[in-house]
Amino acid sequence: MSYIDMTDVLSAWDYDPDRIAVRKVLGMDDIEKIQLRVELGLLQMEVEGRPDGKNPFGCDSLLDYHQQRLATHQERNGTELGFMLTPGECADLCDEVSLYYRRCVAFFVLEEFENVVGDAAHNLAVMNLCCKYAMEKKDQTRLEGFRPYILMMDARARGCQALINGEKASALAHINRGLMHIRALFQDYQSDSKYANLEEVRILEDFREQVSSQLDDDELTEVRRALQDAISQERFEDAAKLRDQLQQIYSGQRVLSQRPLLEEKNGCVNP
């Protein structure tokens, strides 16, 4: 095996601590790779499957492997009772979350929002799996601190994609839904102040303000009509979300950030 000095490669791509630098390159296997510049080098990830290109236990991911284990357990026993994840299995799942997290950030910078949603969904599924089946209490909660961030990235990606499609009202709905999901995490603990001070909440609220300011009269009419339809059809959950949209639009505009809508906020997604 021959080893390659990376000095020339890194010199041609300076590290900037104030921005997330990502690019796509064609690999030696003629398949695109994602490269992320970090302080002491670069990370290279696969675009599809597990970011490190591995297939643990012959599966696409550890999440897929343990979901198959769970399905087999339920089929054999007629119940999920008795299915557990050991501390070692939870640790390996946490490592997998880190891989998908880094690629999720890279996809966002590349504005590949559907892929952001996919990687966010993977990590949320891992969190749910560990929370429900980990043998030890600490493993049930060790990833929960990252849940608000993943929910925020999912909402931003969905909102950005909706804006690209010209669907501003839909973008607002995705943002509001993301905020509702984050708020729900704190209801049991009566931690409204903690929720209000979250960086993830601030980012989504800033995003919501920018989207609200772009809604024109026709779109407002569309939201009102959708609200009336939801009420008449007794779809009360949808009606509540639409009311939240209208309340945000009419609540008065605070000073909007002058940063571009898709700009990454410093300190928000440091890989």
Residue 230 falls inside a structural domain: yes
Residue 186 falls inside a structural domain: yes
Cβ-based burial of 38 (10 A; exposed 0-12, middle 13-18, buried ≥19): middle
Mean pLDDT of the chain: 85
Rounded to an integer, the average pLDDT of 156-168 is: 92
Query: According to the model, what pLDDT value does residue 190 have?
Result: 55
Global confidence as pTM: 0.77
Rounded to an integer, the average pLDDT of 72-98 is: 96
Residue 178 falls inside a structural domain: yes
Residue 119 falls inside a structural domain: no
> How distant, in Å, are the alpha carbons of 88, 103, 176, 257, 267 from that of 19?
35, 16, 27, 18, 10
Q: How many domains does one find in the chain?
A: 1
Query: According to the model, what pLDDT value does residue 258 have?
Result: 25
As a whole number of Å, the end-to-end CA separation of the chain is 30
Q: Does the pLDDT value for residue 255 go beyond 60?
A: no
Query: According to the model, what pLDDT value does residue 188 have?
Result: 58
Rounded to an integer, the average pLDDT of 35-55 is: 94
Q: Supply the range of the domain harboring residue 199.
A: 158-263
Residue 60 falls inside a structural domain: no
Query: According to the model, what pLDDT value does residue 252 have?
Result: 36
Closest to 123 measured CA to CA, from 185, 62, 71, 178: 62
Residue 217 falls inside a structural domain: yes
Residue 148 falls inside a structural domain: no
Confidence of residue 259 (pLDDT cuts 50, 70, 90): very low
Residue 256 falls inside a structural domain: yes
